[in-house]
């Protein structure tokens, strides 16, 4: 961990500490453009050849059959099925509560406006393979999608070296109610869902994590009218801790983040110099011998341990950093809620490790990274619907709004707009004088 005293840093130095993971990499963009063009032109044939090239495996049939899904569920250990089901139940409960119907609003007499939600369909979910099997991501995206009413859900997962998908991922898909699963990964999966191929359907919105190629491909997809959840960079945690925090707990939270990969970001901000030293000692102890110790060490060596003069200064830095995960390990933590301006998800107090939200408390783990929490929210029910506005005016409503509409049309020099109103008012006048 790199140690700094916040009060000794200049504004520019703080800005640099907060900068991370630029996505604008020309080389990756041009590789992704090439893949997009090939998939747009050649469909399955191109996807097959990129799969051979990048995943090292030949795939004839991308779609995972119903038999394979059923087998996977049989193969999955009962305690894993139970865990997936409990996680699913909590995710369902938290996300259901986000569906709040809105009432129509009469903005002025005779002018009624309202909004209604409609599910987006088809949608595409991307779940990475690589160094970790991620059934939790299948639940985090699949469950709210089903709750929102997305009629068609496409899941793409890269095949392993034997051309298979892990049984737990398939079991999670079964629990989430996803049946269209395709063995395809990387930028070619995103391209396939953007354009559609002979076997992989075109979708309206693409969700999910992935490496820089996948994320850049998602950005390119937006140029073709496909929406995306967000660009997801490496995972991050920022812990704010005071002298009352347990160094053991804090170290375990930093490590659980660091083990995601060498590019994971871990930041500790504390008002206690002693706590920082204790945490550093604990990190050393706890990291030793972990199966993914190499990732942990790589990530920790780039980590930040920041001494703050006050909790205000700590929250101020955290808001600038806008971490994906923010853990509050301070005395009476709830009182600081209002100070938090930018973060993906917040974990309050010593008994709320980030792992709870990663898996099973009910909140979504698809969260803004790389400082994007300044402007983006994590995935929620909102992500799977579009909200349509409606309005209905009565003749009286239109009449009372007409002078305003006509005046504004006039300033904007849009005579046709003005006439769409005046033609109706003339009709109302006629009808009245007839009556």
**Residue 259 is among the residues annotated as catalytic for this protein:** no
For residues 38 and 405, which CB has a smaller minimum distance to a second copy in the complex?
A: 405
Q: Tokens 């003749």 correspond to what residue?
A: 395
Give the pairing type, strands 105-108 and 111-119: antiparallel
CA dist 156 → 81, 163, 182, 192 (Å):
21, 13, 5, 10
Least distance (Å) between residue 2 CB and a second copy: 20
For residues 47 and 133, which CB has a smaller minimum distance to a second copy in the complex?
A: 133
Cα distance between residue 357 and residue 337, in whole Å: 17
Q: Tokens 């060490």 correspond to what residue?
A: 297
Q: Which member of 168, 324, 354, 365 is catalytic? A: 324
Q: Which member of 95, 168, 259, 325 is catalytic? A: 325
How many other CB atoms sit within 10 Å of the CB of residue 295?
A: 20
For residues 303 and 362, which CB has a smaller minimum distance to a second copy in the complex?
A: 362
Q: What is the dihedral of CA 251, 257, 258, 263, to 10 degrees?
A: -150
Least distance (Å) between residue 58 CB and a second copy: 26
Least distance (Å) between residue 32 CB and a second copy: 12
Cα distance between residue 383 and residue 377, in whole Å: 9
Least distance (Å) between residue 375 CB and a second copy: 4
CB 315 within 8 A of CB 336: yes
Instruction: Indicate the angle between helix axes 44-55 and 26-42, nearest 10 degrees.
Output: 140
**Residue 354: closest CA among 327, 377, 372:** 327
CB 219 within 8 A of CB 231: yes
Least distance (Å) between residue 225 CB and a second copy: 6
* Residue 63 DSSP one-character state: B
**Residue 324 is among the residues annotated as catalytic for this protein:** yes
CB 137 within 8 A of CB 208: yes
Helix locations, 322-364, DSSP H: 354-359
Cα distance between residue 203 and residue 232, in whole Å: 19
For residues 307 and 358, which CB has a smaller minimum distance to a second copy in the complex?
A: 358
For residues 35 and 307, which CB has a smaller minimum distance to a second copy in the complex?
A: 35
* Phi (first) and psi of residue 399, to 5 degrees: -60, -40
For residues 48 and 260, which CB has a smaller minimum distance to a second copy in the complex?
A: 260
How many other CB atoms sit within 10 Å of the CB of residue 31?
A: 15
Least distance (Å) between residue 353 CB and a second copy: 4
Cα distance between residue 282 and residue 280, in whole Å: 5
Count Cβ neighbours within 10 Å for each residue of 251-284 and write b for 16 or more, e otherwise: bbbbbbbbbbbbbbbbbbbbbbeebbebbbebbe
Least distance (Å) between residue 183 CB and a second copy: 19
For residues 210 and 378, which CB has a smaller minimum distance to a second copy in the complex?
A: 378
Name the residues annotated as catalytic: 324-325
């Amino acid at each position: 961990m790199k140690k700094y005293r916040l009060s000794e840093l200049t504004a520019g130095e703080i800005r640099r500490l907060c900068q991370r993971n630029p996505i604008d990499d020309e080389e990756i963009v041009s590789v992704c453009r090439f893949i997009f063009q090939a998939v747009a032109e050649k469909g399955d044939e191109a996807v097959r050849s990129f799969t051979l090239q990048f995943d090292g495996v030949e795939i004839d049939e991308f779609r995972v059959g119903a038999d394979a899904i059923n087998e996977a569920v049989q193969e999955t250990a009962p305690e894993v099925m139970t865990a997936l089901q409990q996680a699913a139940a909590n995710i369902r409960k938290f996300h259901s509560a986000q569906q709040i119907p809105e009432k129509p609003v009469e903005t002025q007499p005779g002018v009624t406006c309202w909004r209604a939600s409609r599910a987006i369909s088809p949608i595409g979910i991307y779940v990475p393979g690589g160094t970790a099997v991620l059934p939790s991501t299948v639940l985090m995206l699949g469950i709210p999608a089903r709750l929102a009413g997305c009629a068609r859900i496409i899941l793409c997962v890269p095949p392993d070296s034997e051309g298979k998908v892990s049984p737990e991922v398939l079991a999670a898909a079964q629990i989430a109610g996803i049946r269209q699963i395709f063995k395809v990964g990387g930028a070619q999966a995103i391209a396939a869902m953007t354009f559609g191929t002979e076997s992989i359907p075109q979708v309206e919105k693409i969700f999910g994590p992935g490496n820089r190629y996948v994320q850049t491909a998602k950005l390119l997809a937006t140029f073709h009218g496909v929406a995306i959840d967000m660009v997801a960079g490496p995972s991050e945690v920022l812990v704010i801790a005071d002298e009352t925090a347990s160094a053991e707990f804090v170290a375990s939270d930093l490590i659980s983040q660091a083990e995601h990969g060498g590019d994971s970001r871990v930041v500790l901000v504390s008002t206690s110099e002693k706590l920082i030293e204790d945490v550093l000692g604990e990190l050393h102890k706890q990291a030793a011998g972990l199966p993914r110790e190499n990732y942990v060490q790589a990530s920790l060596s780039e980590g930040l341990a920041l001494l703050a003069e006050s909790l205000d200064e700590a929250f101020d830095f955290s808001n600038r950093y806008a971490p994906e995960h923010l853990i509050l390990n301070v005395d009476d933590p709830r009182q600081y809620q209002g100070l938090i301006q930018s973060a993906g998800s917040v974990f309050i107090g010593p008994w709320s490790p980030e792992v709870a939200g990663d898996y099973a408390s009910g909140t979504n783990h698809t969260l803004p990274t790389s400082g994007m929490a300044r402007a983006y929210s994590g995935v929620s029910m909102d992500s799977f619907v579009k909200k349509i506005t409606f309005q209905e005016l009565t003749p009286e409503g239109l009449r009372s709004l007409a002078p305003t509409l006509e005046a504004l049309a006039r300033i904007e020099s849009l005579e046709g707009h003005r006439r769409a109103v005046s033609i109706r008012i003339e009709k109302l006048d006629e009808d009245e004088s007839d009556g």
